Amino acid sequence: MTATRLLWTFAFAVAFGCGRSETPSKALSPVAPAAGLTIYAAQGGEVTDPVVDAYREKNPDLSIQIIRGGMGEMLSRIRAEREKPIGDLLWGGSPEMYAINDELFAKAELPDSEHFKLNDPTGKWHPYSTNVIYLVVNTTRVTRVPRSYREIVAPEFRAQGPISFSNPVVSGTAYTILTSLVTVAGWDYVDSMLTNVWLTDSSDSMFKWVKDGETAAGFLFEASLRDYVASGAPLQPVLAEEGLITQSDGAGLIAGGPHPENALAFLTFMASREAHEIVRTKVGRRSARDDVAPAKGLLDLTGQKLIRADPLWVGRDRAKILARFDAARERL
Amino acid sequence: MTVGQRLRRDPWLLVALFLGVVLVLLVVVPQLWIVRSSLLARDGASLTLENFFRYLTAARYRTALVNSVLLAIVTTILAMLVAAPLAFFHARYRLPGRDLVLTLATLATASPPFLGAYAWIMLLGYNGLLSPALRGVGLPWHSIVGFHGVVWVGMWGAVGLVFLFAHDAFASLDQDLEEAAESVGARRWRAHLDIALPLAMPGLLTAAYLVLTGVLADFGTPRIIGGPVSVLPVLLYHEFLSEGGVNPGMASAGSLISVGLATAVLLLQRLVLAGRSYVMSGTRRVAQRTLPRWATMTVTLATAFFFVLVFVPHLVIAFSSFLSWRADIPGLPFTLDNYRMLALRSSKPVLVSYALSAISTLVAVVAGTLLAYVAVRRSYRVLSPSLQALTMIPYLIPGTVLAIGLIVVFNREPMRLTGTWMILALAYFIRKVPYATKSAEASLYQVHENLEEAALSVGATPAQALRDVTARLILPGLVSGATLTFLMTLTELSSTLMLYGAATTTMSIVIYQAAMGMGGQFGLAASTAVAMMVSVYVPLYLVRKRFPSSGVAA
Amino acid sequence: MSRGPVAVQVEGICKRFGREQALADVSLTFTPGGFNTLLGPSGCGKTTLLRSIAGFVTPESGRILIGGEEVTRQPPWTRSIGFVFQSYALWPHMSVFDNVAYGLRLRKVEGRELERRVRALLEVVGLSSLHERAPGALSGGQQQRVALARALVLEPSVLLLDEPLANLDARLRVEMRQEIRRLQRELKITTIFVTHDQEEALELSDTVAVMSRGRVAQVGAPEDVFAHPASPEVAALLGGASFVEGVVSEEGDLIVDGARLALGLSPTLAGKKVRVALTAKRMAVVAD
Are B166 and B204 in contact by the 8 Å Cβ rule? The answer is yes
For residues B239 and B254, give the distance between their C-alpha atoms in angstroms, rounded to a whole number: 10
Report chain B residues whose CB lies below 8 A from the CB of A235: none
> Across the interface, which of C75, C85, C93 has its CB nearest the CB of B450?
C85
Contact of A15 with chain B, judged by CB distance below 8 Å, is answered with: yes
For residues C247 and C275, give the distance between their C-alpha atoms in angstroms, rounded to a whole number: 9
Residue B421 parent element (H or E): helix B421-445
Does residue B185 form part of some domain?
Answer: yes
% residues pLDDT > 90 (chain C): 40
Q: Could you tell me which of B508, B354, B363 has the C-alpha nearest to residue B433?
A: B363
Q: What is the pLDDT of residue A17?
A: 33
Most confident of A301-305, B207-211, C232-236, C262-266: B207-211
- Residue of chain B with shortest Cα separation from C99: B455
Distance from CA of C94 to the nearest CA of B (A): 9
Distance from CA of C114 to the nearest CA of B (A): 15
Contact of C152 with chain B, judged by CB distance below 8 Å, is answered with: no
User: Do C228 and C253 fall within a single domain?
Assistant: no
Q: What is the pLDDT of residue A35?
A: 61
Contact of C279 with chain B, judged by CB distance below 8 Å, is answered with: no
Give Cα separations from A286 to A2, A40, A96, A292, C85 (angstroms): 59, 22, 20, 8, 83
Q: Do B243 and A15 touch (CB under 8 A)?
A: no
pLDDT band at B396 (very low <50, low <70, confident <90, very high): low
Are B74 and B66 in contact by the 8 Å Cβ rule? The answer is no
Contact of B179 with chain C, judged by CB distance below 8 Å, is answered with: no
The H-assigned helical ranges of B383-420 are: 383-396, 399-409
pLDDT digits (tens, 9 = 90+) for B19-52: 999 999 888 888 787 788 788 777 767 788 888 8
- Residue of chain B with shortest Cα separation from C149: B458
Contact of A154 with chain B, judged by CB distance below 8 Å, is answered with: no
Q: What is the pLDDT of residue A101?
A: 84
Q: What is the pLDDT of residue B524?
A: 82
A near B: at least 3 beta-carbon pairs less than 8 Å apart: yes
For residues A322 and A249, give the distance between their C-alpha atoms in angstroms, rounded to a whole number: 21
Distance from CA of C229 to the nearest CA of B (A): 35
Q: Could you tell me which of C96, C88, C92 has the C-alpha nearest to residue C132?
A: C96
Better-predicted residue by pLDDT, C263 or A88 = A88
For residues A180 and A177, give the distance between their C-alpha atoms in angstroms, rounded to a whole number: 5
Structure ipTM = 0.79
- Where does B183-326 show beta strands of DSSP type E? 324-326
Q: What is the pLDDT of residue B547?
A: 64
Q: Could you tell me which of B20, B178, B167, B19 has the C-alpha nearest to residue B80?
A: B167
What does the pLDDT average to over B399-426?
Answer: 76
Give the range of the structural domain holding residue C134, as residue numbers without chain letter. Answer: 8-232
- The third-level CATH classification (topology) of the domain covering A130-246+304-330 is D-Maltodextrin-Binding Protein; domain 2 (3.40.190)
Q: What is the pLDDT of residue A32?
A: 47
Are A213 and B127 in contact by the 8 Å Cβ rule? The answer is yes
Neighbours of chain B (3+ CB pairs under 8 A): A, C
Are B40 and B48 in contact by the 8 Å Cβ rule? The answer is yes
Report chain A residues whose CB lies below 8 A from the CB of B516: 70, 204
pLDDT band at A282 (very low <50, low <70, confident <90, very high): confident
Check pLDDT > 50 for residue A2: no
- Which residues, numbered 490 to 529 in chain B, qualify as contacts with chain A under a Cβ-Cβ cut-off of 8 Å? 497-498, 500-504, 513, 516-521
CATH number of B452's domain: 1.10.3720.10
**Backbone angles phi and psi of B500, in degrees to 5:** -75, 155
For residues B159 and B165, give the distance between their C-alpha atoms in angstroms, rounded to a whole number: 10
- The domain locations on chain A are 2-129+249-283, 130-246+304-330
For residues A140 and A235, give the distance between their C-alpha atoms in angstroms, rounded to a whole number: 9
Q: What is the pLDDT of residue B448?
A: 87
Does residue C3 form part of some domain?
Answer: no
For residues B220 and B132, give the distance between their C-alpha atoms in angstroms, rounded to a whole number: 26
Check pLDDT > 50 for residue B418: yes
What's the number of domains chain B is made of?
A: 1
Better-predicted residue by pLDDT, C7 or B524 = C7
Q: Do C103 and B458 touch (CB under 8 A)?
A: yes
Check pLDDT > 60 for residue A11: no
pLDDT digits (tens, 9 = 90+) for B289-306: 788 899 899 999 999 999
User: Do C226 and C256 fall within a single domain?
Assistant: no
- 3-state SS, one letter per residue, for B476-541: HHHHHHHHHHHHHHHCCCHHHHHHCCHHHCCHHHHHHHHHHCCCCCHHHHHHHHHHHHHHHHHHHH
pLDDT digits (tens, 9 = 90+) for C63-119: 999 988 999 988 898 898 999 999 889 998 899 999 999 999 988 988 999 999 999
User: Do C203 and C258 fall within a single domain?
Assistant: no
Contact of A311 with chain B, judged by CB distance below 8 Å, is answered with: no
What's the number of domains chain C is made of?
A: 2
Report chain A residues whose CB lies below 8 A from the CB of B250: none
Residues 6 or more apart whose Cβ sits within 8 Å of residue A123 = A107, A108, A109
Beta bridge partners of C207: C36
Check pLDDT > 90 for residue B314: no
Q: What is the pLDDT of residue B116?
A: 80
Neighbours of chain C (3+ CB pairs under 8 A): B
A near C: at least 3 beta-carbon pairs less than 8 Å apart: no
CA A322 to chain centre: 20
pLDDT band at C255 (very low <50, low <70, confident <90, very high): confident
Give Cα separations from B401 to B239, B397, C101 (angstroms): 11, 6, 53
CA A4 to chain centre: 49
pLDDT digits (tens, 9 = 90+) for A70-84: 787 788 888 888 888
For residues B482 and B486, give the distance between their C-alpha atoms in angstroms, rounded to a whole number: 6
Q: Could you tell me which of B151, B123, B516 has the C-alpha nearest to residue A205?
A: B516
User: Do C156 and C272 fall within a single domain?
Assistant: no
What does the pLDDT average to over B377-404?
Answer: 79
Q: What is the pLDDT of residue C148?
A: 92
Q: What is the pLDDT of residue B150?
A: 94
CATH dotted code for A2-129+249-283: 3.40.190.10
Q: Could you tell me which of A58, A138, A96, A22 has the C-alpha nearest to residue A252?
A: A96
Report chain B residues whose CB lies below 8 A from the CB of A67: 500-502
Final residue belonging to a domain, choices C193, C209, C232: C232
Tell me which amino acid residue B444 is. Answer: L
Does residue C179 form part of some domain?
Answer: yes
Mean pLDDT of chain B: 82
User: Do C258 and C166 fall within a single domain?
Assistant: no
Distance from CA of C91 to the nearest CA of B (A): 6
pLDDT digits (tens, 9 = 90+) for A20-59: 222 222 222 234 444 689 999 988 788 899 999 999 999 8
**Backbone angles phi and psi of B52, in degrees to 5:** -70, -40
Neighbours of chain A (3+ CB pairs under 8 A): B
For residues B429 and B439, give the distance between their C-alpha atoms in angstroms, rounded to a whole number: 15
pLDDT digits (tens, 9 = 90+) for A73-114: 788 888 888 888 889 999 998 887 888 788 999 998 888 888
Are A280 and A52 in contact by the 8 Å Cβ rule? The answer is no
pLDDT digits (tens, 9 = 90+) for B335-372: 888 898 888 877 788 889 999 999 999 999 999 999 99
Are A279 and A292 in contact by the 8 Å Cβ rule? The answer is yes
Mean pLDDT of chain C: 86
Residues 6 or more apart whose Cβ sits within 8 Å of residue B487 = B109, B110, B536, B540
The number of C-beta contacts closer than 8 angstroms across A and B is: 206
DSSP letter for A301, please.
-
The H-assigned helical ranges of chain C are: 46-54, 96-106, 111-124, 140-152, 170-187, 198-204, 222-227, 232-238
Report chain B residues whose CB lies below 8 A from the CB of C78: 459
Contact of C18 with chain B, judged by CB distance below 8 Å, is answered with: no
User: Do C161 and C268 fall within a single domain?
Assistant: no
Q: What is the pLDDT of residue B462?
A: 86
Residues 6 or more apart whose Cβ sits within 8 Å of residue B92 = B170, B171, B192, B196, B286, B288, B289
Contact of B468 with chain C, judged by CB distance below 8 Å, is answered with: yes
For residues C140 and C237, give the distance between their C-alpha atoms in angstroms, rounded to a whole number: 29
Are A206 and A165 in contact by the 8 Å Cβ rule? The answer is yes
Q: Do C77 and B9 touch (CB under 8 A)?
A: no
Q: What is the pLDDT of residue A20?
A: 29
What does the pLDDT average to over A227-253?
Answer: 91
Check pLDDT > 70 for residue B492: yes
Are A266 and A66 in contact by the 8 Å Cβ rule? The answer is no
Q: What is the pLDDT of residue A90?
A: 95
User: Do C248 and C167 fall within a single domain?
Assistant: no
Contact of A95 with chain B, judged by CB distance below 8 Å, is answered with: no
Does residue C288 form part of some domain?
Answer: no
Q: What is the pLDDT of residue A318?
A: 87
Q: What is the pLDDT of residue B554?
A: 30
DSSP letter for B192, please.
I
- Which residues, numbered 339 to 378 in chain B, qualify as contacts with chain A under a Cβ-Cβ cut-off of 8 Å? 348, 351-352, 354-355, 358
Contact of C46 with chain B, judged by CB distance below 8 Å, is answered with: no
What does the pLDDT average to over C135-149?
Answer: 90
Are B483 and B540 in contact by the 8 Å Cβ rule? The answer is yes
Residues 6 or more apart whose Cβ sits within 8 Å of residue C202 = C208, C222, C223, C226
User: Do C200 and C107 fall within a single domain?
Assistant: yes
Beta bridge partners of A218: A136
Give the range of the structural domain holding residue B42, as residue numbers without chain letter. Answer: 3-546
Contact of B318 with chain A, judged by CB distance below 8 Å, is answered with: no
